Structure 1
Amino acid sequence: MQRDVVVVLSVTSRPEGRASAVTKEAALFRRRILALAMAVFGLVFVAAPAQAAVGQGSEGASQAAPTGCTSWIEWVHEGNSHYYGRAKVQCDTGSYRVKAQCRNLQTGVGYVVTGTQVVSAPNVATVTCYSGNVAESVHAVAEPPAAGVTGCTSWIEWVHQGNNHYYGRAKVQCDTGSYRVKAQCRNLQTGVGYVVYGTQVVSAPNVATVLCYSGNVAESVQAVPQ
């Protein structure tokens, strides 16, 4: 004789009021966690650019070039030797040294001397050419040095080739970077101008040199960054 077996499953559920309270508490907890996460994320997002901006600002300030610079040259009196060779510079802002482009008038050779003392504005920086030589130009040298090719000073010298003498040796010296020299020359007989480039690349503070064609004169000199 076959009998049917009936299995009765009993499901016990929480009271409706209790379930509703638990659901509300869970939702409130999730909202609090979400709000806290958004607040933390917002602080990180705001603080990071602020720190970057401060870093960039301080770096830019440390590399700011001196401004409002005024230079002049004074006589030097050493016993019976008197020469126009004391170079001075004063700036309105920044820290700097002084650099002078000098010349030996007996040989015609030019060169650069740089002062060793770093001063802050508005103090005066001073350097003296070699004894008996004259200063032709004076410049402020930024401290710390700027990036790239900066602080370039140029001059021209006489070239002596047998009986041929012409003002055609072009030179340039910079405070920073690597560079060649470029000279704009002219043939005085024909009046034709042209440009010549030095082949040697030098690093600061070395001097780069190039010659105009024989008998021609240099009219301007520039540094070519490399």
Structure 2
Amino acid sequence: MLRYPLVTLAVAALGLPLSTAPAQAAPEMPAVAGWSTPAPAPTGCTTSMEWIYDGVNYYYGRGKVQCTTGRYRVKIQCRNQQTGVGYVIYGGTAVNAPGTATATCYVGNVAEKVYPVEDPLPTGVTTGCAPWIEWVHEGSNHYYGRGRVQCDTGRYQVKINCRNLQTGVAYVVYGGQVVTAPDTATTTCYSGNVAESVEALPQ
């Protein structure tokens, strides 16, 4: 007389276990704390400049930017027309599209160009570069072109394309110092020569 059922003997002969534990589900990946999808860069941006009078002698340039998507601030490139020196001013408050971001130059100075600035700023890249040219006078006969560039992010130096107007010869000058945003990188042409274009060189 058999002491075990035939099914039990067959399972044992095949080397199979008599019982199998239920399959376990793969463990779930833990959520990454603080992770979020980066906000898209602003698009569909329209810029404008105004010349504002406020009182008898109080006047200044104002820049505005409005975009169709994204979050942004405004940056304006200004110039003191008495000295010829340019500079950059950021609007302090970021707005969501389609809001209008606004900033003004110092009193008596004009706005020459307006830029939208992504908020928050991207990292690991050089972005939002504003180049400009100045004509510098020192003394009665010492004058030259100067190039400057200022960016929102990254590290960079300035490169200017210069020309000797007497000979017509063009040449390039690199700024020796690498700066970190939002600092301004500056270099000059040789005495008596003009700057024709300016660009930022990411480092």
Name the TM-score, length of structure 2 as normaliser. 0.86
1:17-166 alignment runs, 5 A limit: 17=6, 19-20=8-9, 23=12, 26-27=16-17, 29-30=19-20, 33=22, 36-37=23-24, 40-41=25-26, 44=27, 58-59=36-37, 61-62=38-39, 64-81=40-57, 83=59, 85-147=61-123, 148-164=125-141, 166=143
Q: 1:82 to 1:73 in 2, by over 3 A?
A: farther
Structure 2 counterpart of 1:210, from 171, 184, 187: 187
Deviation of the 1:186 alpha carbon: 1.2
Task: Show structure 1 runs of 5+ residues with no match.
Answer: 1-12
Further displaced range: 109-118 or 20-29 = 20-29
Match of 1:177 in 2: 154
Counterpart secondary structure, 1:218:
strand
Q: Distance in 2 between the 1:77 and 1:102 partners?
A: 16
Cα distance in structure 1, aligned partners of 2:165 and 2:65: 37
Q: Which residue identity does 2:175 align to in structure 1? A: G
Tell me the SS of whatever aligns to 1:20.
helix
- Give identity over the alignment, percent: 58
- After superposition, what is the alpha-carbon deviation per residue over 1:145-196, rounded to whole angstroms, capped at 9, x for unaligned? 0121111101111121333354511001111111111111111122221111
Of the candidates 158, 169, 180, which is equivalent to residue 192 of structure 1?
169
Q: Secondary structure at the match of 2:19?
A: helix
SS in 1 for 2:160: strand
Of Structure 1 and Structure 2, which has the larger fraction of its residues in helix? 1
Superposition deviation, residue 27 in structure 1: 4.6
Instruction: Tell me which structure has the larger Cα radius of gyration.
Output: 1
